[in-house]
Structure 1
């Protein structure tokens, strides 16, 4: 057994981490559509998010108490109630049922609505730093317990300082579990290799470094490791794991600026997690803004940042999906029995796995227990690169963008056809004039079409090319395939 494993195994055990008594970021508020219910998942439980008449986002179990029909298939009515589209029962934000049209009369309806069985199951929610957070349990006790704990927010975003620049939030459902997401972001050694060409070079930057422990392991507060980087522009780098959902990666530069990656992962269902992340740039004392991660810190609209995020996320997506499936098939008694981790770069990953084993009950306790099964490995890896169902269909910003791009594409193709028609008409007119001159016995300058024809033909080609490029670009909202063998 190597020294890195022994250090992780020697941590003293205290109370067990309670997965359901935590706040989880489940959505970016600005990307949600308030006009209808939004289906989400947390810890294996189907939930529905909706905005009530008071303007507050609510979270219910996605099951009507009447016959368990999914409330996410219902409607948000003009009066701010949530209507079940099966029998038109209506619920207000507190979960109380306020309308049952099948009741005999108003008195009977009021009596039925007053029964606790008629209430929807409500999960506490709150908005912090642009994110919608959901508590992992429902009920009156959960409401009280949730008030005693704060979400894992980013302290730098609470300063309201001009020195702090927050970039756009990104959100994506990923086809691998919470533990593999956290394992991946606890492992900076993979970055220049997996993300070759975007962040570093696999042949030049895959080097030795150590990861000294910065903060000791704690059941409730996690742990932190530093990175002894050889980058001359960075004087300090820290990976800070704050359970249940945050990996905060901070890099401090020699000029005093700082780059913070806020990387959240919420366990949604077995084999899947929801990632929400952003970059935070802290200016130095001279007001200079540091460089961000690759080109993602350049000024760009949010929807473009979301589309381009696939270029980064898909570079290690396939690894993590199949790693998880391989581990599940081997079913080792301990994670360390299945892997070989001889280098100090693996110390934080080992500690994460030991935290899970000794402090957090071995892993995420899914709602439904054994009734929920991990999906099998995807046989066609191209299916893993789906962007529409894992992001675009849930993001109002990207839906509007792709709609505009589709309109521009159609206009470009229509414009190309009209310009081509005009060019042909100009050419036809020129040919008719030449024919008249020939019959009159007068000379003319060859048979080439006039300049105006070439102008319109060139414009038609430009519009047609624009439409084609827009069509190719819009595909990024639906799928982006990546192959490391082609990434030279």
Structure 2
């Protein structure tokens, strides 16, 4: 067997350099980030995304392989996300029709003088798109945050923050639907929020807990000490009577794993991911994993979201939960920004033990990870920290639906249903009028023949009229409800003052 000594040397250097960096400050760009749920993507077109302030594009070739490029054509720097995925499995820039394969190689420049000239231009490294390593794991598309040959080597040395239970093929493991949403607050505020179980019964009153009964005392005990690469974890004590153990485990850069173990042995695992997209925003991907106990009993899920439901309905209903603390986190972020880079611990007042994990998270960010996210060159860290109008925070279309093929398909079907229901309501109403008019005409004719003097206004409509009128009302109500449901794909507004 022949060994490529140059490649072996490159790999050895990459491992040595990678391990050396692992001992120092957290390397934000040398990490895997989940950026999409594969089944929610439309493979027929490219998708623009952002990661660490970089503009990127995802697309799938004819071999069903997803690739990630810098969202910039090397020709004239226009967005490749505005291009097309062609039938031959190449990505076409819609400005001048340059084509790229999944490795980023330019394979066609149609404005060239002839094929030979085109081939010469394509062989120039300047014609190549900038590529980023990708992989599919557990239904998610992961992107390594650096490009280049060195990044390809380094990306193979680290495993994404996957969910171990999903690697086990067992009927005891139940994986509920993935949800994805772009949120108008930063990665750090997302992680701070999910490290804070004390807010759950208060902010999510009515869905998970009761603000008046469940805002109780508990302590948080550190069970995994802070480290640069492995984060830290805390256990809640005491827990609810039905819970034996509850653990929050922060796994940098993007994963918060929350495990609640029931006294009967069942487990509820909340797998929460947040990838920093641009300043003031993050992309959240999450799911629930239910682990049955030895007797095969299923644990309860998180509120109504543990019930069996189609994926699109879970996505629509997620707004009920996400929007309950969205306003808090957005304005918390902008308020802190007004303090002009004062230390977080110097700005807040945290006297109770429930804040231990939040404090530890902020210490990890400050001591182990450079204090903030190193956004891409040219990305203004203050650009997206401006306060948005409150109503704009509740936008569902831009932050989810337009990028989710499952929800777009469901929305089309719901629109067909409410249009059909309104159409049937009109038909039944017309039928009621016809039935009533015929009855009046018949009775009027009988009155003339029998020379009756009974006023027609006293004639009671026939049974068929009422059935038709009831059908019209029923279909009108059904159409209204479907139309109201479709509204949730666009916007869902929430006020705590109305949540009794």
Query: Is the counterpart of residue 450 in structure 1 residue 459 in structure 2?
Result: no
| TM-superposition CA deviations, 1:114-163 (whole Å, max 9, x none) | 01000000000000000000000011111111001000000011111111
Q: RMSD over aligned Cα, in angstroms?
A: 1.3
2:453 is aligned with 1:462: no
Deviation at residue 440 of structure 1 after TM alignment: 1.2
Aligned-partner Cα distance in 2 for 1:369–1:210: 43
1:39-438 alignment runs, 5 A limit: 39-369=48-378, 371-438=380-447
SS in 1 for 2:147: coil
| Residues 427 and 453, structure 1, Cα contact 8 Å, conserved in 2 | yes
Deviation at 1:104, TM superposition (A): 0.8
Scaled by the length of structure 2, what TM-score is found?
0.94
Q: CA deviation at 1:381?
A: 0.3
The whole-number CA distance in structure 1 between the counterparts of 2:385 and 2:123 is: 45
Count how many residue pairs are aligned between Structure 1 and Structure 2: 476
TM-score by length of 1: 0.96
1:52 deviation in Å? 0.8
**Structure-2 change in CA distance of 1:370 and 1:422 (3 Å):** closer
- CA distance in 2 between counterparts of 1:376 and 1:15 reads 29
User: Could you tell me how far apart the structure 2 residues matched to 1:320 and 1:352 are?
Assistant: 16
| Conserved? CA contact 1:37–1:74, under 8 Å | yes
Give the alignment of 1:471-482 within 5 angstroms: 471-482=483-494
**8 A contact 1:39–1:48 mirrored in 2:** yes
CA contact (8 A) 2:239 2:246 kept: no
Quick one: distance in 2 between partners of 1:65 and 1:370? 20
Shift of 1:379: 4.7
Contact 1:321 1:377 in 2 (8 A): no
Structure 2 Cα separation of the partners of residues 340 and 316 of structure 1:
20
Query: Moved runs in structure 1, 4+ residues, more than 6 A?
Result: none
Displacement of 1:380 in angstroms is 2.2
Answer yes or no: is the 8 Å Cα contact 1:229–1:237 preserved in 2.
Answer: no
Structure 1: gaps of 5 or more residues = 1-12
Instruction: State the shift of 1:376 in Å.
Output: 4.3
Q: Is the 8 A contact 1:236 1:252 kept in 2?
A: yes
Asked if structure 2 preserves the Cα contact closer than 8 Å seen for 1:322 and 1:377, the reply is no
Q: Secondary structure at the match of 2:428?
A: helix
Aligned partners of 2:118 and 2:341: how far apart in 1?
56
1:484 aligned partner: 496
Deviations 1:215-237 (A, max 9, x none): 01110010000001341000100
Please name the residue that 1:6 is paired with: none
Whole-angstrom distance in 2 between the partners of 1:204 and 1:310: 24
SS of structure 1 residue aligned to 2:151 = helix
Distance 1:332 1:478 in 2: 35
Alpha-carbon distance in 1 for matches of 2:73, 2:154: 25
Kindly indicate whether residue 37 of structure 2 is the aligned counterpart of residue 28 of structure 1: yes
Alpha-carbon deviation of 1:334?
1.3
Structure 2 counterpart SS, 1:227: strand
- C-alpha deviation, 1:370, in angstroms: 5.6
Residue-by-residue CA offset, 1:289-308 (whole Å, 9 max, x unaligned): 00000010111000000000
> CA shift at 1:442, angstroms?
5.8
Contact residue 65 and residue 118 of structure 1 kept, 8 A = yes
1:14, distance to aligned residue in structure 2 (A): 5.5
